[in-house]
Amino acid sequence: MTAAVKIPSSSKAARETLLSRAAKVPPAYFVFVILLVTLWLTRPQMININVMGTFIRQVAPLGILVLGQLLVMRVRSIDLSGAGVVLIINYVISSGILGDANAGLLVIVALAIGVSLGLVNGLLIGKRRASAVLVTLAVNTILVGVVQFLASGKPPGNVPDAFGDVYNVKYLSLPSPVIFWIVLTGVMAVFLSRFVFGRHVSSVGENPVAAHFSGVPVERTVIIAHTIAGLMAGIAGLVQTSSLGVGSIRFGADLPLEAVAATILGGVVFGRGDGGVWGPFFGVLSFALLFVVMTSFGVPDAGKLIARGLIIMLAATYYGLRTNS
């Protein structure tokens, strides 16, 4: 009889370690690679920096919004007011409500609107302990209502040419919004990894009660996180408005939900930030690639929505199973 071959315990431990590390990789990376390979095998002519840059430029506002969303989700909160912030900034810029204000002043006003609304969200959620879902959803609804009231149901007007000029600039074949999005992502990554605030965010996410008794300013951390999320929404509003070139009273309603979905797909769930900053970045890129792949195959809009929903559901299920395991 032949003796059974025993696998060395060291090899088994190494294999388990490898599997555990693989399990921590955000689903966004796998989805991105699968979609990229699919595109390369079926439509290789699409793998072109000019073509891909055009498609990725369209999701730059979502990517910027995700930077704020991942931050508030890291502190066990959420922000669903992004669509309203983007919409009211579009109205302010395109309606001429500020008279002959130049582009620089309009940018400052847009950022001030985003920061102010983010601060309101943060104070109500962090200081008053109000429900993040209800507060931010209410703020979003109010903003949409205000825009529709002011516009009287009609598109406001055109966006100043200066915004379109900046939006259409390219550097090394990359559109300026994509470069700006990458730079902002890098800044956020450094901000969370190198500064004390990043450690506070991690502590609050892991256990807010323990963080409080350890001297971490939990309330202030939540307020700052929402304020920064408001700033990101303001920037996203500027980019989205520049891409449209005209005023609108009905667009971007699905932006907050897509931001949450891309954040989860990128490995950031409530209180946990396994995907860091770049995981959600690739989550947004995955949505862009999904659109490219399905468009190249002639899939209708209904099919795109179904596919996107399935990916989100699988990512959420994945993290639910991993959390409970």
pLDDT score at 27: 87
Find all residues with CB under 8 Å of 92, minimum gap 6, and list them.
98, 106, 109, 110, 113
Element (H, E) at 132: helix 132-151
Q: What string of H, E and C letters represents the secondary structure of 220-277?
A: HHHHHHHHHHHHHHHHHHHHHHHHHCECCCCCCCCHHHHHHHHHHHCCEECCEECCCC
Neighbour-count burial for 238-275, b at 16+ CB within 10 Å, e otherwise: bbbbbbbeebbbeebeebbebbbbbbbbbbbbbbbbeb
pTM exceeding the 0.75 threshold for the entire prediction: yes
Single-letter residue type at 22: A
Mean pLDDT of 31-57: 89
Residue 15 has pLDDT above 70, yes or no: no
Residue range 177-203, pLDDT digits in tens: 999 999 999 999 999 999 999 999 999
The structure tokens listed for 249 are: 């009273």
Residue 141 has pLDDT above 50, yes or no: yes
Q: What is d(CA 123, CA 289) in angstroms, rounded to the nearest whole number?
A: 37
Task: Give the distance from CA 89 to its chain's centroid.
Answer: 18
Residue 290 vs residue 311, higher pLDDT: 290
Average of per-residue pLDDT values in the chain: 89
Cβ(140)–Cβ(80) under 8 Å? Answer: yes
Range from 22-31, 146-155, 206-215, 286-295 that averages highest in pLDDT: 206-215
pLDDT score at 1: 47
Burial class (CB in 10 A: 0-12, 13-18, 19+), 153: exposed
Task: Give the distance from CA 317 to its chain's centroid.
Answer: 20
pLDDT score at 282: 96
Lowest mean pLDDT among 71-80, 177-186, 221-230, 264-273: 264-273
Find all residues with CB under 8 Å of 309, minimum gap 6, and list them.
none
Residue 220 has pLDDT above 90, yes or no: yes
Could you state, in order of their start, the residue ranges of all structural domains in the chain? 54-251
Mean pLDDT of 262-273: 88
Provide the total of helices (H) and of strands (E) in the chain, helices listed first. Answer: 15, 4
Give the 3-state secondary structure percentages of the chain, helix then strand then coil, rounded to 5. Answer: 75, 5, 20
Find all residues with CB under 8 Å of 317, minimum gap 6, and list them.
none
Mean pLDDT of 81-88: 96
